[in-house]
Structure 1
Amino acid sequence: MAPRKTLKLATYNVNGIGTRLPNLLDWLGREQPDIVALQELKAVDTAFPAAELDSAGYGAIWQGQRSWNGVALLARGAVPVESRRALPGDASDAQARYIEAAIHGIVVASIYLPNGNPRPGPKYDYKLQWMQRLARHAKTLVGLPHPVALLGDFNVIPTDIDVYDPKAWRKDALIQPEVREAFESIVEQGWTDALRQSSGERVVYTFWDYFRQHAERDRGLRIDHLLLNPVLAKDLQEAGVDRWVRLQDKASDHAPTWVTVRAPSGV
């Protein structure tokens, strides 16, 4: 029997796909991920660069939004088969933060979880409510008999090892105890945090703000996560961060974060 091939899944908050398109295309060409979840497109649907991505070898589905939010899924050499364009649980929620599809035999979601700042206030309340909705939906996915991956910018710093200076971030929405507990409650459904699983206790970041050369000094946060259900987690090979993308000119403040897995049988 021929060995199963490897698939590379990645998440990348592009922080404006119009501005960062050269960075995105350069990364796709060099790393050639098979499945990509994008966040923070900051573009309406008609401004999404579908033709450029198609020329690069990627089919795409997306949900845009003017000036902020926006999520997409890319498939190398294929077209994602869309299953959802919104997180269930609140039909009035118009923010473009969730999209889900089947790609290369895997159910994949691209997630842009609310930031929640400033707190206290309505933005923080919305974050916690959104996480409750995500937990309910994730619970319907984790036990499926086929592989599932939740990829995205979760805007959650899970533990103090995931931030360069915990004291400096103590008042931020990303690090609050109830936010951490909400994230942990999702993981405890049976999801594997692939980057932490692969890195052990090693410090690893996925985001570096634009202040005081934090990227160059590696003073960052781990807020981009790759959660795998048990069916997919058993095929986990390795995970990492393409930090070189963050160090490029006019880069997003996030770096692509990825995991490699053995492909489902028949893919």
Structure 2
Amino acid sequence: MKIATFNINGIRSRLPGLLEWLAREAPDVVCLQELKAGDSAFPIAEINAAGYGAIWQGQASWNGVAILQKGGDPIESRRGLPGGKDDTHSRYIEAAIDGIVIGCLYLPNGNPQPGPKFDYKLAWFERLIAYAAALLESGHPVILAGDFNVVPTDEDIYNPRSWKKDALLQPETRECFERLVAQGWTDALRHVYGDERIYTFWDYFRQHWQTDSGLRIDHLLLSKHVAARLKTAGVDKWVRGQPHASDHAPTWIELGAAKTTRRAAPKGAV
């Protein structure tokens, strides 16, 4: 089972690239972020024609999240994090697929900082931390996947010096991510690649793609039941090199089959 997360950075304008990737890599589940399209503008006909069902929460021009399922329709379990009564941003959607709860999220960028956008980022992060704890306590297999807008450590960026003032690297941001993972989540890419540098995002400036000057900000966090099934993980970098590409590349994991507990045969059975 292959599960991917991809900040598409505008689903209407980058739809051809998305469809090409779906056809070539054939992920079973896809979490999309930054749709930048209202609900009615989501290209569900094209997604269906590619062999995927979908749920989505759009927002015109900004934000927006979706979950795609190959050969089926995701069963929606939540949209929006708890505690966001006045929050109008489309940043979280959740579905049950093949026995796994999959939360697709687009965490606020937080720039410029300090300021109200950074305050909103931290407040949203606290809501995520609280809800993530509840998901773990439920005992269900869970994946939190998306653009977290967090560079966890200096090993997750080509050079932290020029990004020191960016919201993605602030101590408060990193501390939130550390507390989240410490609940019992497995950071899939870091688990698979160890100390090896691996990036998921290359901005459009200063030839950063051409020089592989990237950041790791797209993450898949796995509960223990899912982590036990983790076979491998990776980044489809070729997508970032395509014409008119998003500044992110699809990031994915592959899971083995779920282990089943075999019941003992009753006494006397042959």
Q: For this structure pair, what is the TM-score category when the shorter chain's length is used for normalisation? A: over 0.9
The higher radius of gyration belongs to: 2
Which position in structure 2 is the counterpart of 1:233? 227
Rounded Cα–Cα distance in structure 2 between residues aligned with 1:264 and 1:24: 29
Rounded Cα–Cα distance in structure 1 between residues aligned with 2:84 and 2:41: 27
What RMSD in Å do the two structures reach over aligned CA positions? 0.9
- Where structure 2 has 5 or more consecutive residues not aligned to the other structure, the ranges are 261-270
The count of residues paired between Structure 1 and Structure 2 equals 260
Matched, 1:91 2:85: yes
Q: CA deviation at 1:134?
A: 0.1
Matched, 1:62 2:53: no
Alignment of 1:5-24 (within 5 A): 7-24=1-18
Q: CA deviation at 1:265?
A: 5.5
Q: CA deviation at 1:10?
A: 0.4
Rounded Cα–Cα distance in structure 2 between residues aligned with 1:9 and 1:144: 21
**Larger relative contact order, structure 1 or 2 (CA cutoff 8 Å, min sep 6):** 1
Which position in structure 1 is the counterpart of 2:104? 110
Which position in structure 2 is the counterpart of 1:199? 193
Structure 1 length-normalised TM: 0.96
Which position in structure 1 is the counterpart of 2:202? 208
The superposition leaves residues 120-160 of structure 1 with CA deviations (integer Å, 9 ceiling, x where unpaired) of: 10000000000000000000112333311000000000000
**1:176 alignment partner, one of 165, 170, 180:** 170
Q: Verify the 8 A CA contact 1:105 1:264 in the aligned structure 2.
A: no
- What SS does the aligned partner of 2:95 have? strand
The superposition leaves residues 97-118 of structure 1 with CA deviations (integer Å, 9 ceiling, x where unpaired) of: 0000101221001100000000
Which position in structure 2 is the counterpart of 1:256? 250
The superposition leaves residues 26-57 of structure 1 with CA deviations (integer Å, 9 ceiling, x where unpaired) of: 00001000011000000000010111011111
Matched, 1:73 2:61: no
**1:141 alignment partner, one of 135, 145, 160:** 135
Rounded Cα–Cα distance in structure 1 between residues aligned with 2:256 and 2:202: 30
Rounded Cα–Cα distance in structure 1 between residues aligned with 2:131 and 2:140: 16
The superposition leaves residues 139-191 of structure 1 with CA deviations (integer Å, 9 ceiling, x where unpaired) of: 01123333110000000000001011111111100000111000010000000
- What SS does the aligned partner of 2:248 have? coil
Alignment of 1:183-194 (within 5 A): 183-194=177-188
- What SS does the aligned partner of 2:135 have? helix
Structure 2 length-normalised TM: 0.95
Rounded Cα–Cα distance in structure 2 between residues aligned with 1:62 and 1:263: 27
Which position in structure 2 is the counterpart of 1:245? 239
- What SS does the aligned partner of 1:171 have? coil
Rounded Cα–Cα distance in structure 2 between residues aligned with 1:139 and 1:171: 30
| Aligned-residue identity in percent | 63
